Structure 1
């Protein structure tokens, strides 16, 4: 290769590489190095890593705001799930077992007891001989990750060989067999939209809304408080009393109604529920059939109005509420994406979370998103109107909808592939450094100067010049 074709900035690196290759070739020719031995050692190391992953099956934990799913790698579904909301031993309040603001001792106690319940009681794993894969929220604070690693590696009953943190957005794309997608997670407390391109989450293009499953359940309860009916033992219809609402909350009946009875209306019929007067309803406006559910000694009447109107909270436009709707969040995220990524993200939209199972959710999001692209966009995104597609799995592949555990399934795939062996945090490495790697550590590794560093250096130089003048 002619040196004139090499740019001046790369000439030094190219020359160093050529010198290294020439020195390596010289040692092989002189017999100082055996090329076959080097190749054999590389193959033995690869075989050792592969056998390590084949022998030691990882424990997969998906940490959510409402539920924590657990299972074993190389399996197609989690073995069980536990509520992420636990009771604090100090004051009896309900808090998240990992993401909370409790004192350090109480937080360690909650993490230790929760991990013991999963690994020792439910999974029956051998101590000190297993691996752990944690599917985490990409916005989880680093201090919570540090607490989790410290407890897992520090306690004798939970001592594991290594731990791997996988972002939930990337794990979700793995479950659907793609590396690029627009992941829309309708979680318990909020709805998040994260573009993922080649297994890299584009944080600058994310959108977060305040509407989640919790708001959906509260909407169902408010409707029952407003216009709920019960049937007594004598067969008379009555309004719900405070005792009936307490029993309604005690048995968590709102979750059963949301999972099995609620539906999503179409874009023409849905907006009518925003200013709907249930008392003065029109006779020709037909609802879904009513359902009767036992509530103590009474029968709760789940009307078609409640079944259809409760899910409208996900499609309430931003101008009518403080939070944007799910289609508006998708539109804003697509608008923030780089131009080269927009079409592929629009072709690979993944809707995950509990409300994704509601009948009519996908058609409603598709129609409203296309409407927003036609009306709100200034021309840059109108070409994506016909490109909106959703990634799903064939019906009957799983016994339950995959949207309930797709992030866990992606974590199970990560725990079964030896390719990601270099990304795990080993017990001996953490014992030596006491540091949990994060993406910000690469700034220090590559010595990338920050913009603020130049200002500090410049101000120090100006200050030193002024001090010299004062001394003179």
Structure 2
């Protein structure tokens, strides 16, 4: 029964989880958080909403450098997710669709299998990647008569730890074409933290607040060299420079951009951070990781390079179906800039078309729901009987 299937897109920053018969997933922070204000209590998942003061929030992450290594933390988060407080149902005797990173280590895969079958007693599991689910959802969404077997597309997954470029030709991942850039939302937040701490005020312990600043004010410049002239022209500077009012956690829970001439109550006494070129130099790392010493190409060059590993007959369709998912896809100006840079790198006779869904964070989860409710889903599930007979090695044979 489709209703019993749990879909879990287990990301490094957030876990998107829900039952296959639900319209929307819950988005839960995939970590344990500790606050200075309440030292005795650890906050798991959405419990952080109960915390009065989230300054100097300390994160204990399940993922390290993009891979699931801290199993104690992950188990604590999963226990919360599959409790009454979470989605309100246990995994006991249910099938689960679960995601893992691209090219995941065999030892991590084995540990996940063991935990799901032996500790959570699942009936069966279908293990996949977020890119596969995004591609599946893309087929389900397409108006034309595209099937998974005829799909040619490139998925750009701009995640928390990495950015992956994954090409699909005739519905199958081209393994030689997958490219990984060690740049994602976490590195951008850390870089913004360093810039603010160096130029304005020490915020090195304020990952939570700086992440909110990044989400609220950062954008991608269409022409970076031109944008950097903000310091030569007063008119341009006025367009970019802002004051960000920091939360005090008594009257203001989340910071905001000060609107000149329209002060809010007590705004004069609030602490503010002036921001100017930080707003676009931080997301620029997705296009030029070498700016902070990471000797890798940016997303446009990685896409152009991934094409070389794909059959030339598919190039036209691949460039017409570039789907962007992940939290960092939401930066204003990201799509036009990526299109402009890609256009300069690929042959002139090929068109470039980028698609960014309305909800790039949950897009893969919706693909998981499509998989779980498809008529032949049961054929692909690795059941408890399979696990008891073949152990962890049977899954890889599959």
| Whole-Å separation in 1 of the counterparts to 2:393 and 2:59 | 30
After TM superposition, list the pairs within 5 Å mapping 1:217-236 onto structure 2.
217-228=189-200
- Alignment partner of 1:360 is 2:360: no
TM-score by length of structure 1 reads: 0.65
Helix, strand or coil: the match of 1:120?
coil
1:231-279 deviation digits (Å, cap 9, x = unpaired): xxxxxxxxx2x4xx25xx3362221122121111122xx12567x7x8x
| Whole-Å separation in 1 of the counterparts to 2:123 and 2:324 | 34
| Whole-Å separation in 2 of the counterparts to 1:326 and 1:97 | 23
- Alignment partner of 1:285 is 2:236: yes
Contact 1:183–1:349 (CA<8 Å) still a contact in 2? yes
CA deviation after TM superposition for structure 1 residue 318, in Å = 5.9
Match of 2:107 among 130, 143, 146: 143
1:204-226 deviation digits (Å, cap 9, x = unpaired): 01111122212211222232134
| Whole-Å separation in 1 of the counterparts to 2:26 and 2:301 | 36
1:115-174 deviation digits (Å, cap 9, x = unpaired): 32222341222563422110222322222222122122213xx22211111222110112
Compare the two structures and name the one with the higher helix fraction: 1
Equivalent pairs counted in the alignment come to 341
2:88 maps to: 124
Helix, strand or coil: the match of 1:333?
helix
1:7 maps to: none
Match of 1:250 among 206, 209, 227: 206
| Whole-Å separation in 1 of the counterparts to 2:152 and 2:32 | 32
Match of 1:411 among 346, 363, 368: 368
CA deviation after TM superposition for structure 1 residue 309, in Å = 2.7
1:437–1:406 CA distance, 2 compared to 1 (3 A): farther
Contact 2:189–2:207 (CA<8 Å) still a contact in 1? no
Match of 1:72 among 11, 15, 19: 19
1:432–1:164 CA distance, 2 compared to 1 (3 A): same
| Whole-Å separation in 2 of the counterparts to 1:390 and 1:176 | 13
TM-score by length of structure 2 reads: 0.77
Contact 2:177–2:310 (CA<8 Å) still a contact in 1? yes
Match of 2:76 among 113, 118, 129: 113
- Alignment partner of 1:260 is 2:216: yes
1:86–1:138 CA distance, 2 compared to 1 (3 A): farther
CA deviation after TM superposition for structure 1 residue 84, in Å = 4.2
CA RMSD of aligned residues (A): 2.9
- Alignment partner of 1:215 is 2:181: no
1:199–1:81 CA distance, 2 compared to 1 (3 A): farther
1:111–1:291 CA distance, 2 compared to 1 (3 A): closer
| Whole-Å separation in 1 of the counterparts to 2:126 and 2:98 | 6
Contact 2:32–2:73 (CA<8 Å) still a contact in 1? no
| Whole-Å separation in 2 of the counterparts to 1:201 and 1:57 | 28
1:345 maps to: 318
| Whole-Å separation in 1 of the counterparts to 2:97 and 2:393 | 14
Match of 1:168 among 130, 133, 136: 130
Contact 1:97–1:114 (CA<8 Å) still a contact in 2? no
Which runs of no fewer than 5 residues in structure 1 stay unpaired? 1-51, 229-239, 374-380, 394-400, 443-472
1:404–1:192 CA distance, 2 compared to 1 (3 A): same
| Whole-Å separation in 2 of the counterparts to 1:319 and 1:115 | 37
1:282–1:66 CA distance, 2 compared to 1 (3 A): same
Contact 1:262–1:310 (CA<8 Å) still a contact in 2? yes
After TM superposition, list the pairs within 5 Å mapping 1:308-327 onto structure 2.
308-316=280-288, 322-327=295-300
Helix, strand or coil: the match of 2:155?
strand
1:163-190 deviation digits (Å, cap 9, x = unpaired): 1112221101122235431011111122
1:100-123 deviation digits (Å, cap 9, x = unpaired): 556xxxx4x445433322223412
1:83 maps to: 30
- Alignment partner of 1:187 is 2:159: yes
After TM superposition, list the pairs within 5 Å mapping 1:373-452 onto structure 2.
373=346, 381-384=347-350, 387-393=351-357, 401-439=358-396, 441=397
